[in-house]
């Protein structure tokens, strides 16, 4: 099997068809695509839109515009202007800046950027100049144009995402902007607002319609976005069995389960457990139990499937597959937010994770990683677990903290065991210089894996099935494979059942006698459903170890617990504890924060205060982070941010690349350019755990949702 275990793709044909539908519904106007809501899928969507005959494109940043040009897109292209942009890049790549202030206009004129577009904020929108700044901005633009310093090519209106585009008030407000521009002496060839046509419009600006989310007039659109994953394991369980962490789901009959390679690290909301459905072999099946970081479980009932089967998470509703709007309704997000989350998660592999830290200049936000805090957490946890060993788990790009820097910090701190989830990550670490003195453990295995390379690289393998053993035995590796056999003690994902366990152990011992393997460990996952359930799982684990020993196995390491159980229960530690979240200062929540455990938060997410405006409450600030960077859409009214240790509530709605905060009457202490901390660990700042507890999730989900394209700055 060569296709990826999970992927996001766009249908250029569907995008082209959607553009034709928009043209039919909005005749006699140009169509401009605003792609700034689409996170890391910008280049692919731009190419599809261009092929479909779009008139003009707007992207979020100059960097995005350059990537679009490098992808061969030749359409008229504009990018939102930032003061740190290199003017030569606009000229070299024929990109037009979109400006929203007098300062932006003056910067463009000084740099010799003779063509600009203007953006006005409508309703509660934060993108563009406000109604208060309307007259002075248009007057400045008209003056620069009359002197020949620049030409205004476009005038756009962007309503707040919480205001429906068809609301009459938004149309009237944009008409006012166009009228004011005309009176100022401006006559841009393209004028339009997002999602609708107003008097004086020569264009309509669209965004979500490109991928098939309906717009106001009910035009028929095709689903262009497709998210797929893969069945990586199957299992049969009895009626009444709890599934996945916490046992929030129990089977109603004897059922076949499918473990599928997608989770919240890939953009699938954790809240989708017991709510969402996925399409497999022509049938919709429910997600059984909680969504994990990298997998979900489907309850197939009496149906069967095969390892390697494709699972459609988002597809074409016309074929019976769940569409993006269906998913949005299931998890309580907007369709754009849902698509953005998948784009962030599933485009992670396209980002150079080792080099992104080198270019924080001009970024919309910066993720600061405190390696000293990480190392202190490792020390505290190793002392807590002793004499058991600690395995530092760095799956999911080290929980969003950066794979290679975190791995190197762990090794420098004396960690000799690292959990990597899959073979590909293990091989990446070996090629980056993590030597054989460090044990790497991978456990999400399948027939698609290169077992020979993994074994030769001394990656230890978590094995659940005889099929995996057979593939390992015939891999042709030059050294014996180091195996950790997994018993299912009640989580009901992968791992051998009680009946499958003796044959699995016997098959591994056959490989050992043939010199092809070394049976190194026995391990399991527990469900952490309750103390009693965990105690029962630990007892089942002890029985499995005894069975293996009776069959002749001599293992050097046994491991059952991860962060929470390993920290709290010495009877669950065995020889080794796999620690992920706690090493990053992410506690279990429910009122228990990192400080309660003696842990230090490692990640700080911060943006910039890009604008300050008068409001009914005093002053409102605009912050340069939004859903495209991983900020949850549901945080306004619930959570504050901090500027110099002082807290300010998030208000309005989080847009793709902006959010608003209420500065109140703060005596002017907050100014444009100030650093705005979303979460961190310094005095006065909210922690990642505060955010997770308030939003009803866990810290890991928020950490891995932070866009991989934001630069990481490493301290220590």
Query: In 3D, which of 341, 360, 258, 264 has the Cα closest to residue 301?
Result: 258
Confidence label for 159 from pLDDT (cuts 50, 70 and 90): confident
| pLDDT at residue number 669 | 84
Does 2 score more than 80 pLDDT? no
74 domain-assigned? yes
595 domain-assigned? no
| pLDDT at residue number 589 | 75
Q: Which domain holds residue 255?
A: 225-346
66 domain-assigned? yes
Residues 323 and 392 in one domain: no
Over residues 122-134, the pLDDT tens digits come to 887 778 888 888 9
**Are 223 and 317 contacting, i.e. CB atoms less than 8 angstroms apart?**
yes
365 domain-assigned? no
132 domain-assigned? yes
Does 393 score more than 90 pLDDT? yes
Q: Is 236 exposed, middle or buried (0-12, 13-18, 19+ CB in 10 A)?
A: middle
Query: In 3D, which of 416, 431, 334 has the Cα closest to residue 382?
Result: 416
| pLDDT at residue number 217 | 47
Residues 176 and 31 in one domain: yes
Q: How far apart are CA 105 and CA 36, in angstroms?
A: 20
What pTM, to 2 d.p., does this model score? Answer: 0.92
**Are 313 and 229 contacting, i.e. CB atoms less than 8 angstroms apart?**
yes
Confidence label for 358 from pLDDT (cuts 50, 70 and 90): very low
Confidence label for 166 from pLDDT (cuts 50, 70 and 90): low
Residues 546 and 608 in one domain: no
| pLDDT at residue number 162 | 54
330 domain-assigned? yes
Residues 229 and 207 in one domain: no
From 321, 346, 371, give the residue that closes a domain.
346
Over residues 484-504, the pLDDT tens digits come to 999 999 999 999 999 999 999
From 331, 346, 361, give the residue that closes a domain.
346
DSSP per-residue letters across 198-261: -TT-SEEEESGGGGT---TT-------EEEEEEEEEEEEE-TT-EESGGG-EE-SSSEEEEEES
> How much is the CA Rg of the chain, to the nearest whole Å?
27
Over residues 168-226, the pLDDT tens digits come to 778 889 999 999 999 999 999 999 998 888 888 999 998 888 888 765 544 578 888 89
Q: Is 199 exposed, middle or buried (0-12, 13-18, 19+ CB in 10 A)?
A: exposed
Confidence label for 353 from pLDDT (cuts 50, 70 and 90): very low
| pLDDT at residue number 610 | 87
| pLDDT at residue number 436 | 95
402 domain-assigned? yes
Confidence label for 540 from pLDDT (cuts 50, 70 and 90): very high
Residues 269 and 333 in one domain: yes
Residues 688 and 553 in one domain: no
Integer angstrom CA distances of residue 94 from 18, 47, 69, 317, 481: 27, 16, 9, 39, 55
Q: How far apart are CA 8 and CA 67, in angstroms?
A: 18
Does 164 score more than 60 pLDDT? no
Q: How far apart are CA 402 and CA 399, in angstroms?
A: 8
Does 39 score more than 70 pLDDT? no
Confidence label for 148 from pLDDT (cuts 50, 70 and 90): very high
Residues 656 and 530 in one domain: no
Instruction: For the chain, give the number of residues.
Output: 716
Q: How far apart are CA 533 and CA 246, in angstroms?
A: 10
Over residues 445-473, the pLDDT tens digits come to 999 999 999 999 999 999 999 999 999 99
Residues 450 and 573 in one domain: yes
Q: How far apart are CA 454 and CA 77, in angstroms?
A: 45
CATH of the domain at 449: 3.20.20.10
The count of domains in the chain is: 4
Query: In 3D, which of 364, 293, 222, 296 has the Cα closest to residue 707?
Result: 364
Structure tokens at 287: 């997600």
Does 360 score more than 60 pLDDT? no
Location of structure tokens 């607002």: 193
Residues 129 and 43 in one domain: yes
Over residues 558-595, the pLDDT tens digits come to 999 999 899 999 999 999 999 999 999 998 877 788 88
From 295, 313, 346, give the residue that closes a domain.
346
What percentage of the chain reaches a pLDDT higher than 70? 95
Residues 402 and 424 in one domain: yes
Residues 289 and 166 in one domain: no
364 domain-assigned? no
Q: How far apart are CA 71 and CA 43, in angstroms?
A: 7
Residues 74 and 38 in one domain: yes
> What pairing do the DSSP bridges indicate for beta strands 225-237 and 255-260?
antiparallel
CATH of the domain at 300: 2.40.37.10
Integer angstrom CA distances of residue 119 from 6, 187, 256, 583: 37, 14, 54, 44
| pLDDT at residue number 322 | 93
3-state secondary structure of 12: helix
Does 555 score more than 90 pLDDT? yes
Confidence label for 681 from pLDDT (cuts 50, 70 and 90): confident
Does 333 score more than 90 pLDDT? no
**To 5 degrees, how large is the angle CA 355–CA 691–CA 668?**
85
**To 5 degrees, how large is the angle CA 353–CA 609–CA 127?**
90
């Amino acid at each position: 099997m060569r296709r990826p275990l999970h992927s996001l793709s766009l249908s250029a044909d569907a995008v082209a068809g959607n553009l034709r539908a928009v043209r039919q519904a909005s005749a006699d106007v140009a169509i401009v695509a605003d792609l700034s809501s689409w996170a890391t899928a910008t280049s692919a969507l731009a190419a599809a839109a261009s092929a479909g005959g779009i008139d003009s494109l707007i992207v979020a940043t100059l960097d995005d515009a350059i990537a679009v040009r490098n992808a061969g897109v030749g359409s008229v292209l504009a990018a939102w202007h930032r003061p740190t942009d290199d003017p030569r890049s606009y000229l070299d790549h024929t990109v037009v800046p979109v400006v929203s202030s007098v300062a932006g206009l003056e910067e463009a004129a000084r740099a010799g950027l003779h063509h600009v577009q203007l953006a006005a904020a409508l309703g509660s929108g934060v993108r563009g100049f406000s109604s208060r700044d309307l007259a002075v901005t248009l007057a400045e633009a008209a003056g620069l144009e009359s002197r020949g310093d620049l030409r205004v090519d476009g005038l756009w209106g962007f309503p707040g995402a919480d205001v429906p585009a068809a609301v009459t008030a938004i149309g009237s407000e944009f008409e006012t902007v166009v009228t004011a521009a005309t009176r100022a002496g401006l006559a841009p060839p393209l004028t339009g607002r997002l999602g609708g046509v107003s008097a004086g419009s020569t264009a309509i600006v669209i965004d979500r319609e490109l991928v098939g989310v309906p717009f106001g007039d009910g035009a028929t659109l095709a689903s262009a976005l497709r998210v797929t994953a893969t069945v990586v394991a199957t299992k049969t369980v009895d009626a009444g069995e709890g599934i996945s962490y916490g046992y929030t789901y129990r089977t109603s009959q004897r059922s076949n389960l499918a473990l599928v390679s997608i989770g919240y690290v890939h953009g699938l909301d954790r809240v989708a457990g017991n709510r969402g459905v996925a399409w497999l072999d022509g049938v919709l099946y429910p997600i059984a139990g909680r969504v994990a970081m990298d997998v979900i479980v489907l309850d197939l009932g009496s149906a069967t499937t095969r390892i390697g089967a494709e699972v459609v998470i988002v597809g074409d509703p016309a074929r019976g597959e769940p569409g993006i709007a269906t998913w949005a309704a299931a998890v309580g997000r907007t369709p754009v937010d849902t698509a953005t989350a998948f784009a962030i998660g599933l485009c992670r592999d396209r980002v150079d994770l080792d080099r992104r830290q080198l270019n924080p200049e001009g970024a919309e936000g910066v993720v600061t990683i405190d390696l000293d805090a990480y190392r202190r957490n490792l020390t505290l946890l190793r002392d807590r677990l002793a004499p058991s060993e600690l395995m530092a788990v760095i799956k999911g790009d080290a929980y969003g903290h950066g794979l290679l820097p975190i791995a190197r910090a762990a090794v420098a701190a004396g960690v000799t065991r690292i959990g990597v989830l899959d073979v590909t990550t293990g091989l990446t670490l070996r090629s980056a210089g993590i030597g054989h003195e460090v044990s790497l453990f991978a456990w999400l295995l399948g027939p698609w894996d290169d077992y020979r390379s993994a074994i030769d690289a001394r990656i230890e393998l978590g094995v659940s099935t005889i099929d995996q053993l057979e593939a390992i035995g015939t891999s042709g590796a030059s050294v014996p494979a180091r195996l950790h056999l997994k018993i299912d003690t009640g989580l009901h994902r992968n791992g051998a059942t009680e009946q499958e366990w003796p044959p699995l152990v016997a098959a591994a011992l056959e490989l050992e006698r043939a010199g092809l393997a070394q049976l190194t460990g026995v391990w399991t996952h527990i469900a952490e459903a309750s103390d009693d359930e965990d105690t029962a799982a630990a007892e089942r684990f002890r029985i499995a170890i005894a069975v293996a020993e009776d069959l002749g196995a001599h293992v050097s390491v046994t491991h059952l617990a991860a962060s929470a159980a390993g920290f709290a229960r010495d009877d669950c530690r065995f020889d080794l504890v796999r620690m992920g979240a706690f090493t990053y200062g992410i506690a279990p929540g429910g009122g228990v924060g990192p400080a309660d455990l003696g842990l230090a938060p490692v990640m700080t997410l911060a943006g910039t205060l890009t604008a300050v405006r008068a409001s009914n409450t005093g002053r409102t600030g605009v912050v340069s982070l939004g859903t495209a960077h991983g900020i949850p859409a549901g945080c306004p009214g619930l959570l504050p941010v901090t500027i110099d240790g002082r807290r300010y509530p998030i208000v309005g709605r989080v847009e793709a690349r902006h959010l608003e905060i209420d500065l109140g009457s703060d005596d002017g202490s907050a100014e444009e350019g100030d650093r705005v901390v979303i979460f961190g660990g310094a005095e006065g700042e909210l922690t990642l755990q505060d955010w997770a507890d308030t939003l009803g999730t866990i810290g890991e989900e928020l950490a891995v949702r932070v866009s991989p394209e934001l630069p990481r700055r490493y301290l220590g």
